[in-house]
Amino acid sequence: MRDAYQEQMVALNALLGEMCDTVGREMESATQALLDADLERAEQVISDHDGFAARSAEAEEMAFELLALQAPVAGDLRNIVGGFQLVAEIDRMGALALHVAKVARRRHPARVLPEEVAGYFVEMGRLAVELAHSAHHVLQSQNPEDALTLLEDDDAMDDLHRHLFTVMMDRDWQHGVTSAVDVTLLGRYYERFADHAVSIARRVVFQATGKTPEQLKEAS
């Protein structure tokens, strides 16, 4: 029984890791569609999302099977409940990449991003992909130290998001309200994508130790 539980948990974490890579690729493609006003790429992200949703449903089903068939207790139960939460976090990351692609499609053939802010989104897109890959690594390793490192990696995204607002609030902004709204929403999508990657790391820390990252730091 214990061996079966371990095998199923490994399989679930492997699937969750693959989903992290998928949302990273989706965000990478959505970012390129945004920067290049590439309608074909945006449409591809949107159409591919159905396949991701099917994988998400598969991961949920695996977690339900663990809950129903393995009669988990204590730490095992914590891991399975955490699995449900991880599915939700990754699912939301996929939805945010989808939102970016839909903005690019909605504004086509115009470019969504004024030149003054395009560079911010190049870097935010790069960081988003990096965080998604880091989340995969954390899920694979189940190492709290790796997870704590990912928590720190989110700071760069937060800094970019803050600086983005200084550009839009400058008196020299000449792109109107509609552009400002688009840029504000898009910046929020990338920030939230990073936040969900951080939440994955936090949940892995809790699954592995039964403590939050803050409690671990206090204990060290």
Helix/strand/coil (H/E/C) assignment for every residue in the chain:
CHHHHHHHHHHHHHHHHHHHHHHHHHHHHHHHHHHHCCHHHHHHHHHHHHHHHHHHHHHHHHHHHHHHHCCCCHHHHHHHHHHHHHHHHHHHHHHHHHHHHHHHHHHCCCCCCCHHHHHHHHHHHHHHHHHHHHHHHHHHHCCHHHHHHHHHHHHHHHHHHHHHHHHHHCCCCCCHHHHHHHHHHHHHHHHHHHHHHHHHHHHHHHHHHCCCHHHHHHHC
Per-residue model confidence (pLDDT) at position 207:
82
Distance CA 213, CA 206 (A): 8
Per-residue model confidence (pLDDT) at position 220:
67
Place 217 in a pLDDT band, splitting at 50, 70 and 90: confident
Per-residue model confidence (pLDDT) at position 158:
92
Q: What is the pLDDT of residues 78-136, one digit of tens each?
A: 888 888 999 999 999 999 999 999 999 999 999 999 999 999 999 999 999 999 999 99
Distance CA 104, CA 76 (A): 43
Per-residue model confidence (pLDDT) at position 71:
66
Which CATH number does the domain 2-219 belong to among 3.10.129.10, 1.20.58.220, 1.10.760.10, 3.90.180.10? 1.20.58.220
Best CA proximity match to 184, nearest among 106, 91, 114, 95: 114
Distance CA 180, CA 170 (A): 11
